[in-house]
Amino acid sequence: MCENNTEAAKKKVLSCIQPSGMLTLGNYLGALKNWVAMQEEFDCTYAVADLHAITVRQEPAKLRSQIYSTYALLLALGIDPEKHTVFIQSHVPEHSALSWLLSCNTQFGEMARMTQFKDKSAKHPENVNVGLFSYPVLMAADILLYKPDLVPVGHDQKQHLEIARDIAIRFNNKYGDVFTVPEPYIPKIGARVMSLQDPTKKMSKSDDNLNAWVAILDDRDTIIRKFKRAVTDSEAVVRMADEKPGISNLITIYSAVTGKTTQEVEKEFDGKGYGDFKLAVGEAVADTLNPIKERYDEIIKDKKALEQLYKEGANKAERVARKTYFKAMKKVGFVL
């Protein structure tokens, strides 16, 4: 964060993403594209939230690969580790340490009401672990350590930010001013990208049908092939309508990657068939994602340079996190 006579201090923003496999076109258009854009306006802290990934069983080698891959992808997207803080969560031990302190100031009933715990417990009944129950407290620690002014939130994350705010307010009221109570930041509306095979469902990398989702790192031919196979309808008219979820989804995607309005898209493809439209969407998406893949392929090859960047990121993050953590410990009464 910088402050001088010509530039006011930028507000702080924090976002984290789990290394839980291939990130999709939906992740990019819905959130990550905004992460890149926010760098101009805010002082940004971005983390690969690898500690959160182990609330479900992980194969160690695969998890390690995914952490590397997710960090490299953030850089490939255009996030600048020199101007902002980009790090791996587990490399800053204060996240886990503060989580314990906050756990002791969080009520059991608050955690029991978290909707994602219920959802994930239903999906993984064989592994309903304590971490799955209490991970919103770790998420609160992730946020509060860096004293962000704003936290970007989607619909499924509002409850987590609310509990982080509640914990911060309770702690401050009991022990004195320690944490900044962050405000939700609603970024410019990201595209809500639906499955290419079932457009009534959100695009998800966990979908068993590989044609249903596009990975950010898919090659050009794969992207175009998946769009050619996208589910549409029998009307053969390119227009946005509730009764046309498949075509509406493709219009949304095309608009997001080209910057064209819905009306401009409808006009462009007036009188043209679905085949032409699906090919155009696939090519436009490939044109958007392929430069990211090319940068990623270069970054991931140089493990030494990547390691230096994530270590520098962790050092930068820990300098901030340590101050907040020790202030909280001192307020509670620990001997430092």
Query: Is the pLDDT assigned to residue 107 strictly greater than 80?
Result: yes
Residue range 139-157: mean pLDDT, rounded:
90
Q: For position 190, what pLDDT does the model report?
A: 67
For residue range 163-180, list pLDDT tens digits in order. 999 999 999 999 999 999
With b meaning 16 or more CB within 10 Å and e meaning fewer, what string describes 85-120?
Answer: bbbbbbbbebbebbbebbeebbeeeebeebeebeeb
pTM equals 0.90
Average pLDDT, integer, range 206-220: 93
> In Å, what is the CA distance from 200 to each residue of 24, 228, 242?
17, 18, 10
Q: Which of 22-26, 35-39, 113-117, 256-260 is predicted least confidently?
A: 113-117
Q: Please, which contacts does 196-204 make with residues 24 or more away whose CB atoms are closer than 8 Å?
A: 196/226, 196/227, 196/229, 196/230, 196/231, 196/249, 197/229, 197/230, 197/231, 198/231, 199/231, 199/245, 199/246, 199/248, 199/249, 200/245, 202/26, 203/24, 203/25, 203/26, 204/24, 204/26
Give me the pLDDT at residue 125, please. Answer: 83
Does the pLDDT of residue 119 top 50, yes or no? yes
Higher-pLDDT residue of 116 and 285 is 285
Catalytic positions are 120, 202, 205
pLDDT at 146 over 70: yes
Kindly tell me if the per-residue pLDDT of 295 is higher than 50.
Answer: yes
Does residue 7 surpass a pLDDT of 50? no
Domains of the chain: 12-190+303-332 (3.40.50.620), 210-297 (1.10.240.10)
What per-residue confidence (pLDDT) applies to 3?
A: 41
Per DSSP bridges, beta strands 85-88 and 150-152 are: unpaired
Which helix (H) or strand (E) segment is 61 a member of? helix 60-77
pLDDT above 90 (res 20): no
- Average pLDDT estimate for 33-55: 94
